[in-house]
Amino acid sequence: MSEIILVRHGQAMNHATDEAGYDRLSRLGRQQAEWLGSHLAATEPHFDRVLTGTLARQVGTAEAMGYAITRQDARLNELHYFHLARAVESQHGVPAPRDAREFSRYLPEVIEHWTRGALAEVPETFDTFADRVTAVIDEICKTPGRTLVVTSGGVIGMAMRHALGLENGGMARMMLQVRNSSLHRLEYVHDQLMVGGFNATPHLDTPERAHARTFV
């Protein structure tokens, strides 16, 4: 049996306007990661390996959680959101969202254009993104034991699509719900990939930490 615990990175610099500016933890994001690390140390102390992508916010989250990273794998890096957003606006006239309500309609539209191959000059196609995420998840499934994976919301959405056989619209809706520093559990048993949990934040469930339950 193989068990995979996926963690979304802590809150990043959510007012950034490009990939480089976004890719570091906010003060709250580091605190979220520290709280999660303390929770896991008390409840699930053993992992056979710890994997992250190569992005600073992913690496920084694992370190703030208190874990030594076994390996960094660029296949666990996030989709290129800012490039996709610029392409959707310039090629299809869809402006960036101004608030959470607009974003809930905006992200599925971006994903829909991307999956149809209707966005030119973006860093990777949707199929390339899907292939790299599903490949690394399948490789981890072949390794017995418990693997902690610190990654990003789009990767987690794709992992859930892979496990549940979701349509792309369903994947986009799941991506919208992935909280910063949330836990997601996959289990590979009887030659099948199963979902054991989605979007848990037990380290933030007390009233005094309600302010730390963030999506962006």
Q: Can you give the residue range of the structural domain that contains 87?
A: 80-123
Residue 98's pLDDT is 85
* pLDDT, tens only, 140-181: 999 999 999 999 999 999 999 999 999 999 999 999 999 999
DSSP symbol at 176: H
Taking the CB of residue 20, how many other CB atoms lie within 10 A of it? 11
Burial class (CB in 10 A: 0-12, 13-18, 19+), 176: middle
Looking at the structure, tell me whether residues 99 and 136 fall in a common domain: no
Say whether pLDDT at 45 is over 90.
Answer: no
pLDDT at 147: 98
Residues 110, 150 share a domain: no
- Residue 215 placed within a domain: no
Q: Is pLDDT at 33 greater than 90 in this prediction?
A: yes
Alpha helices in 66-190 (DSSP H): 81-92, 100-115, 126-141, 153-164, 168-176
Answer whether 2's CB lies under 8 Å from 144's CB.
Answer: yes
Question: Does some domain include residue 18?
Answer: yes
CATH number at residue 201: 3.40.50.1240
Q: What is the pTM of this model?
A: 0.96
Q: For residue 6, is it within any domain?
A: yes
DSSP string, 14-68: TT-SSHHHHSSB-HHHHHHHHHHHHHHHHH----SEEEE-SSHHHHHHHHHHT--
- Asked whether residue 155 is domain-assigned, the answer is yes
Helix (H), strand (E), coil (C) string for 9-28: CCCECCCCCCHHHHCCECHH
The three-state secondary structure class of 5 is strand
| 88 phi, psi to nearest 5 deg | -65, -40
Number of domain units in the chain: 2
For the segment 112-140, what is each residue's pLDDT rounded down to a tens digit?
999 999 999 999 999 999 999 999 999 99
Q: Alpha-carbon distance 157 to 171, whole Å?
A: 6
pLDDT at 126: 97
Does pLDDT of 101 surpass 90?
A: no
Q: Would you say residue 58 lies in a domain?
A: yes
Residue 214 lies in a domain: no
